[in-house]
Amino acid sequence: MRPPVILEPSTTYSSNSSSYSPSSDRRLNTIAKHFVNHVQMDSHNISPSPTASSDSVFAQIVRAPEDAILGVTVAYNKDTSPIKLNLGVGAYRTEEGKPLVLDVVRRVEHQLFTDGSRNKEYIPIVGLADFNKLSAKLIFGADSPAIQENRVTTVQGLSGTGSLRVGGEFLAKHYHERVIYLPQPTWGNHIKVFTLAGLTVKTYRYYAPATRGLDFQGLLEDLGAAPSGSVVLLHACAHNPTGVDPTLEQWEQIRQMIRSKSLLPFFDSAYQGFASGSLDADAQPIRLFVADGGELLAAQSYAKNMGLYGERVGALSIVCKSADVASRVESQLKLVIRPMYSSPPIHGASIVAAILKDRDLYNEWTIELKAMADRIINMRQQLFDALRARGTPGDWSHIIKQIGMFTFTGLNPEQVSFMTKEYHIYMTSDGRISMAGLSSRTVSHLADAIHAAVTQVA
């Protein structure tokens, strides 16, 4: 073996290095040529190492566990049983158990496809201007004073997750308080998203297992005890995983507490329209906070309400006190986004903008959205009735009281794993089931499994 070629320090250069000179440049070229020849001459002698993994520079890497939610789908895909049922990830399915592309989305995609004037140029760092404006209008309301006063900055994000991450990194870089309070429990990914963004995660009480409802007193106490200025993550509607939302009166009290302690609300709106079937009703909590003139962040996702899961389309809005602050905030958001993924993708945002822009398409969307929300609500009733019919021990009324995509059943990890093993039903180990993955055909299978789990597994 020949010794490796080492570039001497004097041969490296940068534009401001005093060591750069025409002679060192020539020397660098000579060495580079030598190196190329050396590699070419030796390349036919190279054979793969038989000792494979122990030689790897990555040999010390330990296998990571699958994601608590997306890993359920991985396990489901490996199951060959014809009766298998995936109620893990929150992804809408039709009565036939198939993924759904909304008719209005198909129509718009066809229009986009046949429009010869469209191209695939990069879009701005902050995304499509129309998409951003219309997204803010959708969440804050067409008559929002904050929008009229130009106090909102909205940037396109990589669905809900990417929008949360950009918001988190912006706060870690520019906000005076680095602590974010998350509800206990919350969507598991929140913890990782905000920790990796550079914030410190703490929790506030949210869910009371005994009542399977909101621990409102605990929530107010914990927010009341949080250091002034802390960030508070709030699920705008359809809390994941519990399906438990505050009432509007409770939201008003939460708002008063947050504002009186100068906490900074960060809304995660992943299910607008999916909870009640009404886009406006589901945005009410956020609009309460905007109406008081205070500041907040809001991450939106079009994964569920437009069925655009894999298109990764969402938005981050920051409502500020003045137009001047909002425009400076936007300039800094660009500095967060540019080194992260440069600029967002064009396709999904074009679909959303086309639908939000056109009155007929918008109306068509709201009808399809309501149909999805209604089907989920109907599944709750069917599952509740099926358990009642079987005389399954326990009070199952939380199934019809909870709202949104998920039911937090109260089943323990042993019961969940029993249902997976014996009934091929896949769900997260915390007992959460995606009601959107259930259909009239599969509800009796699920009820049988729950009945068996509850009566046979402690």
Inter-residue contact 428 to 401 (CB < 8 Å): no
The answer to the question of residue 242 lying near ligand PLA (CB under 6 A) is no
Structure tokens belonging to residue 404: 């949104």
Least distance to ligand PLA, CB of residue 20, Å: 47
Q: Which of 87, 89, 199, 399 binds ligand PLA (CB under 6 A)?
A: 89
Query: Smaller CB distance to ligand PLA: residue 230 or 300?
Result: 300
Active site residues: 187, 268, 304
Binding residues for ligand PLA restricted to 348-367, rule: CB under 6 A: none
Binding residues for ligand PLA restricted to 112-141, rule: CB under 6 A: none
- With b meaning 16 or more CB within 10 Å and e meaning fewer, what string describes 200-223? ebbebbbbbeeebebbbeebbebb
Query: Smaller CB distance to ligand PLA: residue 268 or 364?
Result: 268
Q: Which of 135, 301, 382, 407 binds ligand PLA (CB under 6 A)?
A: 301
The answer to the question of residue 187 lying near ligand PLA (CB under 6 A) is yes
Least distance to ligand PLA, CB of residue 90, Å: 3
**Site track for ligand PLA across 55-74, x = CB under 6 A:** --------------x-----
Quick one: three-class SS letters along the chain? CCCCCCCCHHHCCCCCCCCCCHHHHHHHHHHHHHHHHHHHHHHCCCCCCCCHHHHCCCCCCCCCCCCCCHHHHHHHHHCCCCCCEECCCCCCECCCCCECCCHHHHHHHHHHHHCCCCCCCCCCCCCCHHHHHHHHHHHHCCCCHHHHCCCEEEEEEEHHHHHHHHHHHHHHHHCCCCEEEEEECCCCHHHHHHHHHCCEEEEEECEECCCCEECHHHHHHHHHHCCCCCEEEEECCCCCCCCCCCCHHHHHHHHHHHHHCCCEEEEEECCCCCCCCCHHHHHHHHHHHHHCCCCEEEEEECCCCCCCHHHCEEEEEEECCCHHHHHHHHHHHHHHHHHHHCCCCCHHHHHHHHHHHCHHHHHHHHHHHHHHHHHHHHHHHHHHHHHHHHCCCCCCCHHHHCCCCEEECCCCHHHHHHHHHHHCEECCCCCEEEHHHCCCCCHHHHHHHHHHHHHHCC
Q: Which of 166, 303, 399, 446 binds ligand PLA (CB under 6 A)?
A: 303
Structure tokens belonging to residue 284: 């009410």
Query: Smaller CB distance to ligand PLA: residue 235 or 424?
Result: 235
The answer to the question of residue 420 lying near ligand PLA (CB under 6 A) is no
Least distance to ligand PLA, CB of residue 240, Å: 4
Number of residues counted as binding ligand PLA (CB under 6 A): 15
Q: Which of 85, 86, 90, 333 binds ligand PLA (CB under 6 A)?
A: 90
Least distance to ligand PLA, CB of residue 270, Å: 4
The answer to the question of residue 86 lying near ligand PLA (CB under 6 A) is no
Least distance to ligand PLA, CB of residue 70, Å: 6
Least distance to ligand PLA, CB of residue 407, Å: 13
Query: Smaller CB distance to ligand PLA: residue 215 or 268?
Result: 268
Binding residues for ligand PLA restricted to 307-346, rule: CB under 6 A: 314
The answer to the question of residue 265 lying near ligand PLA (CB under 6 A) is no
**Site track for ligand PLA across 142-171, x = CB under 6 A:** -----------------xxx----------
Binding residues for ligand PLA restricted to 267-296, rule: CB under 6 A: 268, 270
The answer to the question of residue 201 lying near ligand PLA (CB under 6 A) is no
The answer to the question of residue 219 lying near ligand PLA (CB under 6 A) is no
Least distance to ligand PLA, CB of residue 153, Å: 20
Least distance to ligand PLA, CB of residue 292, Å: 24
C-alpha 398/C-alpha 406 separation (Å) is 11
* Site residues, ligand PLA (CB under 6 A): 69, 89-90, 159-161, 187, 189, 235, 240, 268, 270, 301, 303, 314
